[in-house]
C-alpha cells in the first residue's frame, strides 16, 4: 500500500525536480495517446517539442514565434503572481490587457499623423496606465466595500471585450479602411510600431519588458520589504497585520501592478504582432497567464520557464496539427495532460511517498 507522509517542510530538491519529471511523464503518456491514435509517437513528440526550434524547414518561422507568444504570457503572469502570492486573486488580466491596448492605441492614433520619437514611449505609458486604472476598479471596490475581487475582475473582462468591439467598430475604426472593422495598422506607422528588435528572434519591446519584469519581480520578492510583506500576507494574514502590513495598500499595489503589466502586454501586442485594434484582439493571453503563473509556482524564474514551455506546446501543437494531421482536440488533451501532471506532481514537494506493507487486521 502506498501512503503519503507530510514533510516537515517543502522539499527543495523536488520543487525543482517535479516540473522536469512532469514534462518527461507527459511525453511518455502523450506518446501512448498518439500511438493509440495510430500516429508515430516519437515523431509526434519531436514535432511538438523539437521541430519548432530546430527543424531546418520550419524553425525560421516558428522559432521567433516562441518569444512572441511567451512575451505577453510572462509579462502578465509576473504581475498576477504578486497578487496570487498575497492571496489576492486577480483573474481579470485579460480585461486589463485589452484596456491597456485600447488606451495606448487611442493616445497614438489621436496624434496621427504626427511623427515624433516620443509618441511610442507615450503610448507605452498610456497602455500601462489604462491597465492600472482598469484594475483599480476591483481594488477600490474591495478595499472600500469588501467586494470579492475574483468576481469583479472577471466580470470586467466582459465589459472590456464590449469596449474593444465598440472601439474596433467605432471610435478607433480606420477612416481609410473602406468600412472594415479595425483600427489603422499601428505596426505600419513608424512612430507607433513595436518592431522585431533583432531579426529572426521575435524579440520586440514586450519581450524586453517581460525579461525586465522577471528580474524586477525576483528582486522585489526576495530582497525588498514589500515583497516580504506580499509573501507574509499570503502565508498568514494575521501575522502580516502583526508585522505592520497595511493590507488595503497591499491590495491596491498587487492589483495595480498586475493591471499595469497586463496593460503593457496589451500595448506591445497591439503595436507589434497583432498590429491593430480588432474585435478578436483579446486572444486569451490574460487567462492563459494564470496557468503560467501557477505552473511557474509563482516564482519569477519558474514563470519565465513556464511561459516558454507553454508557448512551445502551442506552437508545436499547431505544427503537429498540419504536419501529422493530429486533430486539434488531441493537442488540447496533450496540453491539458501536461498541466494536470505538473499540478499532481506537486504532492511530492509536500509529501513523501512511502510503501507500507499491508498490515494484518
Partner 1 sequence: MTELLKVVGLTREYPGVRANDDVSFSIGTGEVHALLGENGAGKSTLVKMIYGLEKPDAGFMKLRGGSYAPQNPQAARAAGVAMVFQHFSLFEALNVAENVALGMENPPKMRELAASIREVSENYGLPLDPDRIVGDLSAGERQRVEIIRCLLQDPKLLIMDEPTSVLTPQEVEILFKTLRKLQSEGTSILYISHKLEEIRALCDGATILRLGKVVGDCDPKVTTARAMAEMMVGQTLHVPSREGGETGEVLLEVKSLNFAPANPFGTKLKNVSLTLRAGEVLGIGGVAGNGQDELLSVLSGEARTGKGAVMFEGQDVSHLGPNARRKIGILAAPEERLGHAAAPNMSLTENAALTATIRKKLSKNNFLNWKKTEDFAREVIKTFDVRTPGPGSAARSLSGGNLQKFVIGREVLQEPKILVVNQPTWGVDASAAADIRQALLDLAARGAGLVVISQDLDELMEISDHFAALNEGTLTAPRPAKGLTVDEIGLMMGGAHDMEVAEL
Interface with partner 1 (CB under 8 A): 5, 7-10, 223-226, 228, 231-232, 235-236, 238-244, 246, 352, 359, 361
The distance of closest approach from Cβ of residue 218 to partner 1 in the complex, given in angstroms and rounded to an integer, is 13
Work out the number of other CB atoms within 10 angstroms of the CB of residue 157. Answer: 21
Q: Which is nearer to partner 1, 246 or 301 (CB)?
A: 246
C-alpha cell, 99 = 484596456
Q: Which is nearer to partner 1, 221 or 310 (CB)?
A: 221
CB 161, CB 287: distance < 8 Å? no
Beta bridge partners of 3: 354
CB 232, CB 221: distance < 8 Å? no
Q: Which is nearer to partner 1, 41 or 237 (CB)?
A: 237
CB 270, CB 281: distance < 8 Å? yes
Burial of residue 216 (CB within 10 Å: 0-12, 13-18, 19+) is middle
CB 156, CB 92: distance < 8 Å? yes
φ, ψ dihedrals at 353, nearest 5°:
-90, 135
The distance of closest approach from Cβ of residue 227 to partner 1 in the complex, given in angstroms and rounded to an integer, is 9
Q: Which is nearer to partner 1, 236 or 328 (CB)?
A: 236
The distance of closest approach from Cβ of residue 240 to partner 1 in the complex, given in angstroms and rounded to an integer, is 8
Q: Which is nearer to partner 1, 46 or 352 (CB)?
A: 352
Angstrom distance (rounded) from CA 304 to CA 251: 24
C-alpha cell, 100 = 491597456
The distance of closest approach from Cβ of residue 7 to partner 1 in the complex, given in angstroms and rounded to an integer, is 8
Angstrom distance (rounded) from CA 119 to CA 109: 10
Angstrom distance (rounded) from CA 333 to CA 177: 40
The distance of closest approach from Cβ of residue 225 to partner 1 in the complex, given in angstroms and rounded to an integer, is 4
Give how far Cα 9 sits from Cα of 14, 131, 240, 302, Å. Answer: 12, 38, 20, 20
Q: Which is nearer to partner 1, 115 or 246 (CB)?
A: 246
The distance of closest approach from Cβ of residue 145 to partner 1 in the complex, given in angstroms and rounded to an integer, is 16
Q: Which is nearer to partner 1, 5 or 355 (CB)?
A: 5
The distance of closest approach from Cβ of residue 144 to partner 1 in the complex, given in angstroms and rounded to an integer, is 16
Amino acid at each position: 500500500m502506498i501512503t503519503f507522509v507530510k514533510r516537515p517542510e517543502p522539499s527543495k530538491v523536488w520543487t525543482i525536480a517535479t516540473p522536469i519529471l512532469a514534462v518527461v511523464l507527459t511525453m511518455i503518456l502523450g506518446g501512448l495517446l498518439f500511438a493509440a491514435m495510430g500516429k508515430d509517437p516519437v515523431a509526434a513528440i519531436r514535432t511538438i517539442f523539437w521541430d519548432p526550434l530546430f527543424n531546418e524547414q520550419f524553425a525560421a518561422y516558428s522559432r521567433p514565434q516562441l518569444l512572441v507568444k511567451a512575451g505577453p504570457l510572462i509579462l502578465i503572469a509576473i504581475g498576477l503572481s504578486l497578487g496570487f502570492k498575497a492571496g489576492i486573486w486577480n483573474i481579470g488580466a485579460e480585461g486589463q490587457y485589452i484596456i491597456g491596448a485600447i488606451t495606448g492605441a487611442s493616445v497614438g492614433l489621436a496624434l496621427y499623423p504626427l511623427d515624433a520619437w516620443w509618441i511610442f514611449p507615450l503610448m507605452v505609458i498610456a497602455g500601462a496606465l489604462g491597465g492600472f486604472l482598469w484594475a483599480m476598479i476591483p481594488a477600490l471596490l474591495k478595499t472600500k466595500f469588501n467586494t470579492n475581487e475574483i468576481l469583479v475582475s472577471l466580470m470586467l473582462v466582459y465589459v472590456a471585450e464590449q469596449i474593444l468591439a465598440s472601439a474596433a467598430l467605432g471610435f478607433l475604426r480606420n477612416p481609410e479602411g473602406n468600412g472594415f472593422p479595425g483600427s489603422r495598422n499601428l505596426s505600419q506607422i513608424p512612430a507607433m510600431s513595436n518592431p522585431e528588435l533583432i531579426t529572426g528572434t521575435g524579440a520586440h519591446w514586450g519581450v524586453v519588458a517581460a525579461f525586465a519584469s522577471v528580474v524586477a519581480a525576483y528582486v522585489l520578492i526576495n530582497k525588498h520589504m514589500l515583497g516580504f510583506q506580499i509573501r507574509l500576507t499570503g502565508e498568514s494574514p494575521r501575522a502580516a497585520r502583526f508585522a505592520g502590513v497595511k493590507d488595503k495598500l497591499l491590495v491596491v499595489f498587487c492589483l495595480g501592478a498586475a493591471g499595469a503589466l497586463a496593460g503593457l502586454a496589451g500595448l506591445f501586442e497591439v503595436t507589434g504582432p497583432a498590429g491593430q485594434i480588432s474585435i478578436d484582439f483579446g486572444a486569451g493571453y490574460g487567462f492563459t497567464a494564470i496557468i503560467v503563473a501557477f505552473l511557474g509556482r509563482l516564482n519569477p524564474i519558474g514563470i519565465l520557464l513556464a511561459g516558454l514551455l507553454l508557448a512551445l506546446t502551442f506552437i508545436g501543437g499547431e505544427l503537429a496539427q498540419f504536419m501529422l494531421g493530429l486533430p486539434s482536440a488531441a493537442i488540447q488533451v496533450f496540453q491539458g495532460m501536461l498541466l494536470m501532471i505538473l499540478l499532481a506532481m506537486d504532492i511530492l514537494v509536500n509529501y513523501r511517498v512511502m510503501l507500507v506493507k499491508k498490515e494484518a487486521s
